[in-house]
Chains A and B, each alone.
Chain A
């Protein structure tokens, strides 16, 4: 996918080359910075490119190799970070005016772990403000365009991280996924995107949107690279009280294991609405897995149709609480006023964009006296029904297969004025977050206008190994069919 001469396209191959001394981390970095210089003007994947810091980090990796020290499993691999992950001393904006000028006083756990693994952070990627959106159009710093067709959106909210990988700016990147914000842009940009089980990757230093749903995960050009990144960033972190007390995930060894005997579920009562070109690719994926030895089984999930409602009550409710901290006192911008209450309102009114305000209002309403039981309380019960549906489905199936997005990448501006139409982009990705399960999107050919289509694999809690087996099998069938990886 990248065009750098003599530089491998995957993180695994780059790390192998750097670790063996065959490649220099500084050369790998310069090739990627050159790609950014060539195409970023059309894409706008980044809020900030940290070239100086990256050059220093790459030089340290090369010095480690020269001195015989272990440079780490991601040695010299450039990585882009969604700009809602804290990087000490480096601006972290969440694509919001309200965090203008903020330089976090600490690194997110994932940032620390990537650095320890020898990865080279190259910049902070654009997102829908505070990760609220499905197109990366709701950014205070402008739209991120899709590298496959720059008249179209990159998806969202992690659109910058998806576009960075699709454009060859970095072989891997990190995003965050609250209702599909990794998987949907991965599908629209034609790359792999993974939302791991809630609690497997630390949220310490991830600026919170909806704390019971948010989870960090990787983007990559192939399945192995996402496995490699997850192995490096997962595992218990005492700084996150929702972190599952267990060791890091072990995934790469399952990739060659095949899917013989696995039961792949088709949700028979899934809300319809996917475009025919997307449905066609989903059917091709079922066929490919069947040909590889899997069994296709039907499952029913009668509560799935309520997931969108539950999500758009729960996520805004949590957001209204989490975003109460932006009040002009401790960080970011302040609009001065004569007393604190007036300062809070003036700061928040000037600092937040329209979609963020809309969700704060909706969430505040759903939590307010007189409406709590009818909206937030009820949504939490529907969340239980959806989780129970999944539990029943996973007695019959090992994984479930759905489209990732009902549509291919849409033209910039097409849904900007219709919040509900935008929310419907997440119809297939949202249920996973409510249940806390892992899910990933794998590119599986193209649909309308030659644009990428993603297929989504869903698995039960901590079912990453079986999920990656299926992903690797789909990838192999695409390569065998002569499709672009």
Chain B
């Protein structure tokens, strides 16, 4: 039943997770992160054995739902002030590099 830390997470999974998280990791970092995450997951294994089949998940501490405001026009953020914060802006819009490769 109990897994050793090295069985809990592999270097391959760490590489996949780093791609999902949009973080670049060097091979050295992969090794270190794998070891650290395995250690944490080992500590977190204390909930493995709990039978939680009848327990309702809790996603928020205070039960509020469908919080709407009146459908009226309000002043939004100032466009110039917002764009002044952008690393690159042009013609009232955010400027980004190509979404797909230029040669694609």
Interface residues of A (CB under 8 A from B): 101-103, 105-106, 197-199, 212-213, 238, 241-242, 244, 305-306, 308-310, 312-313, 320, 324, 327-334, 336-346, 348-349, 352, 357-358, 360-362, 364-365, 368, 375, 377-385, 387, 419-420, 434-437, 461
Contacts and interface: CB of A to CB of B under 8 A. Distances in A.
Contacts of A352: 23
B92 interface: no
A375 B43 contact: no
Chain B, interface size category, equals 35 or more
Q: Name, among A242, A331, A361, the residue most crowded by chain B CB atoms within 10 Å (CB to CB).
A: A361
B67 interface: yes
B47 A378 contact: yes
B44 to A, nearest CB: 4
Contacts of A434: 58, 61
B86 A238 contact: no
B100 interface: yes
B56 A381 contact: yes
Contact of A103 (B64, B85, B88, B99): B85
A345 B23 CA distance: 5
Given A238-B69, A365-B37, A379-B47, A327 B22 contact: yes
29 contacts: A103-B85, A105-B78, A105-B81, A198-B61, A212-B60, A242-B62, A306-B47, A312-B40, A312-B44, A328-B87, A329-B87, A330-B82, A332-B87, A336-B97, A338-B101, A340-B99, A348-B21, A358-B33, A358-B36, A361-B18, A361-B23, A368-B17, A378-B47, A381-B55, A382-B47, A383-B57, A387-B61, A419-B40, A420-B39
Given A105-B82, A345-B23, A360-B21, 9 more contacts: A105-B78, A105-B81, A308-B43, A340-B96, A345-B22, A377-B57, A381-B50, A385-B50, A435-B61
Contacts, number: 160
B88 A334 contact: yes
Interface string B20-49: 111110000000010011011001101100
B13 A339 contact: no
A365 B55 contact: no
